[in-house]
A and B are shown apart, each in its own frame.
Chain A
Amino acid sequence: MEAGLKTMTIKDSLIAEFESSKNSLFGDLKLREQALEAFSKQGIPGRKSEEYKYVNMELALKGDFKFSSSKKLSTQQIESTQFLKEAIIVVIENGIFSSEHSKINSLPKGLQIINIIDATSNVIFQKHYSKYADINSDAFIALNTAFYSGGVFIRVEKNAVIEKPIHIIHIASASENTILNSRNLIVVEENAQVKIVESYETLDLSAKSFNNVLTEIVVEPNAIVDHFKIQNECELGNLMSTTQAVQKGKSVFSTHTFTLSGSLVRNNLNIVLDGEHIESHLNGLYLTNGNQVVDNHTLVDHREPNCNSNELYKGIIEDKSSATFNGKIYVRKDAQKTNAFQSNKNILLSDDGTINTKPQLEIYADDVKCSHGTSTGKLDADKIFYLRARGLSEASAKKLLMHAFASEVLDGIKGMEELHNYLEERISKRFE
């Protein structure tokens, strides 16, 4: 029997953990059970899975894992991750909303921020929760829906304009291998405006963390949402980050993903354009080195006519790291007059680095403008020579060119000077 225990897979231990803890879980238990079933049907996707073939999830989840961490961080430690001075701070510490460290006492009018544990009876929450992230479409959505231990519910009421950004800080901290599942729901009501920054950090982490974070974002008619993911984890951090957004008519959703570090980072970004005259912007920048694995999967689903989507992902790949970009665009039969553009550009700095890039356009409407382009290359030798001929060292010429390459994505950040400067500095340092 002991031998049997030792060969228990991570899937088995997750299912066993669910059975033993399910009576202490909050929220809709029936939904959690359905999600667990969906998870056990799908299992952890292996290398043979088409969607996960370039990112070894089984390896990231190899070994024994705990399902929570009792490690408590000091205020000082947590404050070290607050790179925005003027922001409303929400701290998700080891998958759980931290009322101690979050600063939500005096919120502007029209903004509600609630610990997700206390939100389950909220009518708006119930209307939207788990309505967009489909447990049967992805194992990690299922896993998260079954297991989520905490997170935040944010509601921006109709017509409210929230000036300060809301900074949600996801922190993993543990001394044993730990799987974390946190869940957020953000509802931005009609004609409201908000800026959301999600950052992903590891602090005092001495074993592997696997942070499976799922955020659903609802952008109602005429609303404007700027969304940022800043991924900052250490070499022990494994991040599975799903953003599931749905947009209604005449709304604008801009989302920017900056992957600066972390052992394994997988982003699933799904946007459904469920209305007319919608605008969606997807920007991404990934700077990989060492043995890092970064995989960005995006899905833009045009369901209605007269919408625009624009996607730009760029990456610089060093050492033995590997980066994947998979961008799907669906233009459904009714989505006439769609404009959908996608571009993925990469610079490969080493012989051992890997880039996988795959645009996938599926177009069922006949009156649309869609384009995609992808390029992978080295730094341009003519440009390097030009700069050197003016007295710049080879290293600073390269640094300048990498910075220029990255700045196209950085410049997509509008009206967020503090964030722009922070990222600018981080990226510059990276090229030192």
Chain B
Amino acid sequence: MLSIKNLHASIDGKEILKGINLEVKAGEIHAIMGPNGSGKSTLSAVLAGREDYEVTEGSVTFNGKDLLELSPEDRAREGVFLAFQYPVEIPGVSNINFLKTAINEIRAYKGLEPMEAKDFLALVKEKQKLVELDGKLASRSVNEGFSGGEKKRNEIFQMAILEPKLAILDETDSGLDIDALRIVAGGVNKLKSKDNATIVITHYQRLLDYIVPDVVHILYNGKIVKSGPKELALELEEKGYDFIKEEVGA
């Protein structure tokens, strides 16, 4: 589904990603772990198409298409979803209206008719339950005045509505208490299928107790330095990131 080859990216002339290689297949969950400043958020931003970053080398193929050639909206329309680490507040734009616009633009891209209003409302109702999102939050302005946990739940709610092929969760666990974490993880697990894939980016192992990865990658200094089964995350938690530094001889 996703194939990243030798990806280099920089911001303001400073290289952050220094040759990432990653293969993600449908049905898989990959965790990317790494210390602060290792390039985790840069990777998610580059995949989503943030224009502040410059890709200097390498390629990203998504279902046979050159992802880097696509605009952010076309990436979303092709099925890439980024759950933001810091979702922005957009006063005056209602969550529901915005999602309706999004869903219909995605449908138009695929040559489909706009969704009927009643079908859309039914979809909203169903997905709200999934992440236990208060109906009032769903119809309020996007993230305005939401708590940290509500913002993250809203991300997963949007993901549930848009049904992406590839979801990238960028530190979705940061700032979440254990109850919110359970709800968010539960939502992600329910959305999992053999046709979609998830990349979970996190600093801590705890989230992986709830979203169990098939593969764990350790990102360090702009490169994936180690990959392994889910136990790798536990080892990392136990020994701390210093063990990676020693192992790669940094």
Residues of A that sit less than 8 Å from B by CB:
380, 382-383, 385-394, 396, 400-401, 403-405, 407-408
C-alpha gap A227/B88 in the complex (Å)? 36
Task: Identify which of B13-21, B100-108, B117-125, B182-190 touches chain A.
Answer: B100-108
B98-A392 in contact (CB<8A): yes
Q: CB distance B72 to A385 under 8 Å?
A: yes
Q: A391-B77, A393-B73, A405-B92 in contact; A386/B87 too (CB < 8 A)?
A: yes
Closest-by-CB residue of B relative to A397 is: B73
Q: Is B101 a contact partner of A396 (Cβ separation < 8 A)?
A: yes
Other-chain contact of A389, B72, B92, B109, B142 (Cβ < 8 Å): B72
Interface: B71 (CB within 8 A): yes
Min C-beta distance of B245 to chain A, whole Å: 33
Q: A385-B50, A386-B84, A386-B87 are in contact. Are A392 and B92 (CB under 8 A)?
A: no
> Does chain A have a CB within 8 A of B90?
yes
- Among B91, B93, B102, contact of A391 (Cβ-Cβ < 8 Å): B102
B99 touches A404 (CB 8 A): no
Q: Would B105 and A392 count as touching, CB distance under 8 A?
A: yes
Which chain B positions have C-beta within 8 A of A388?
Answer: 49, 71-73, 76
Give 15 A-B contacts (CB < 8 Å), ordered by A residue.
A386-B88, A386-B142, A387-B98, A388-B76, A389-B49, A391-B73, A391-B77, A392-B102, A396-B101, A401-B93, A403-B92, A404-B92, A404-B93, A404-B141, A407-B92
Query: Which residues of B are found within 8 Å of A392, using beta-carbon distances?
Result: 73, 98, 101-102, 105
B174 to chain A, nearest CB (A): 17
Output the nearest chain A residue to B90 by Cβ-Cβ distance: A383
The yes or no answer to B158 lying at the interface (CB within 8 A) is yes
Alpha-carbon distance A389/B158, docked complex (angstroms): 11
Which chain B positions have C-beta within 8 A of A408?
91-92
B interface residues with partner A (beta carbon < 8 Å): 48-51, 71-73, 75-77, 81-82, 84, 87-88, 90-93, 97-99, 101-103, 105-106, 109, 141-142, 158, 162
A390 touches B93 (CB 8 A): no
Closest to A405 in B: B92
7 smallest CB-CB distances across A and B, nearest first, come from A404-B92, A391-B76, A388-B72, A390-B102, A391-B106, A391-B102, A404-B93
Contacts of A385 in B (CB 8 A): 50-51, 72
* B76 contacts across to A, CB distance below 8 A: 388-391
Question: Which single residue of chain B is at the shortest CB-CB distance from A406?
Answer: B92
Nearest B residue to A387, CB-CB: B98
**Apart from A387-B90, A391-B102, A391-B103, what are 7 other A-B pairs with CB-CB below 8 Å?**
A386-B142, A387-B98, A389-B81, A390-B102, A392-B105, A393-B73, A404-B92
> In whole Å, how far is A39's beta carbon from the nearest beta carbon of chain B?
44
CA distance A394 to B75 in the complex (A): 13
Give the interface centre of B50, B71, B90 by most chain A CB atoms within 10 Å.
B90
A384 → chain B, closest Cβ, in Å? 9
Give the CA-CA distance A408 to B106 in the complex, in Å. 28
Find chain A residues with CB under 8 A from B71 CB. Answer: 388, 394
Cβ-defined partner of A400 (8 Å) among B48, B87, B101, B162? B101
- Whether the Cβ atoms of B106 and A383 lie closer than 8 Å is no
Q: Is the CB of B90 within 8 A of A386?
A: yes
Contact A393 B48 (CB under 8 A): no
| CA gap between A391 and B102 in the complex, in Å | 5
Q: How far is the CB of B52 from chain A (nearest CB, A)?
A: 9
A389:B105 contact, CB within 8 angstroms = no
What is the CB-to-nearest-CB distance from A420 to chain B, in angstroms, rounded to a whole number? 15
User: Hey, which chain A residues are within 8 Å of B109, CB to CB?
Assistant: 391
Residues of B within 8 A of A383 (CB): 88, 90
* Distance, CA A373 to CA B77, complexed state (A): 40
Q: Which residues of A sit under 8 angstroms from B98, Cβ to Cβ?
A: 387, 390, 392, 400
CB pair B90–A401 under 8 Å, yes or no, is yes
Assess the B90–A393 pair: CB atoms within 8 A: no
- Known A383-B88, A405-B92; judge A389-B99 contact (CB<8 A): no
B116 to chain A, nearest CB (A): 18
Chain A residues lying within 8 Å of B99, measured Cβ to Cβ, are 390
Q: Are A390 and B158 in contact (CB under 8 A)?
A: yes
How far is A383 from B88 in the complex, measured between Cα atoms in Å? 6
Q: Among the listed A394, A400, A401, A405, which residue makes an inter-chain contact with B73, where contact means beta carbons less than 8 Å apart?
A: A394
- How far, in Å, is A316 (CB) from chain B's closest CB? 13
User: Closest residue of chain B to A399, judged by CB?
Assistant: B101
Report the minimum CB–CB distance from A402 to chain B (whole Å). 10
Q: When the two chains form their complex, are residues A391 and B82 in contact, meaning their CB atoms are under 8 A apart?
A: no
Closest partner residue, chain A, to B84 (CB atom): A386
Q: How close is A227's CB to chain B, nearest CB, in angstroms?
A: 24
Contacts of B101 in A (CB 8 A): 392, 396, 400
Q: A390-B102, A391-B102 are in contact. Are A404 and B91 (CB under 8 A)?
A: yes
CB distance from A302 to the nearest CB of B (A): 30
State the CA gap A408–B103 with chains docked (Å): 25
Give CA–CA (A383, B141) in the complex, Å. 13
* CA gap between A408 and B142 in the complex, in Å: 15
B82 / chain A contacts, CB cutoff of 8 Å: 389
A397 to chain B, nearest CB (A): 8
CA distance A404 to B94 in the complex (A): 9
* Shortest beta-carbon distance from B145 to chain A in Å: 15
Determine whether the beta carbon of A400 is less than 8 Å from that of B72.
no
Q: Please name all residues of chain B whose beta carbon is closer than 8 Å to the beta carbon of A401 when the two chains form the complex.
A: 90, 93
Are B88 and A382 touching (Cβ within 8 A)?
yes
| Measured CA separation A383–B98 after assembly (Å) | 12
Whole-angstrom distance between the alpha carbons of A408 and B105 in the complex? 26
CB distance from A127 to the nearest CB of B (A): 44
Residue of B nearest to A400 (CB): B93
Residues of A contacting B72 with CB < 8 Å?
Answer: 385, 388-389
The residues of A that contact B87 with a CB separation of less than 8 Å are: 386
Chain A nearest CB from B127 CB (Å) reads 14
CA distance A394 to B71 in the complex (A): 9
**Residue in A380, A386, A396, A403 whose CB lies within 8 Å of B105:** A396
**How close is B88's CB to chain A, nearest CB, in angstroms?**
5
Chain B residues within 8 Å of A404, by CB: 90-93, 141
Name which of A382, A387, A391, A401 has the most chain B CB atoms within 10 A of its CB: A391
Complex CA distance for A318 and B188, rounded to whole angstroms: 43
Minimum CB–CB distance from A212 to chain B (whole Å) comes to 35
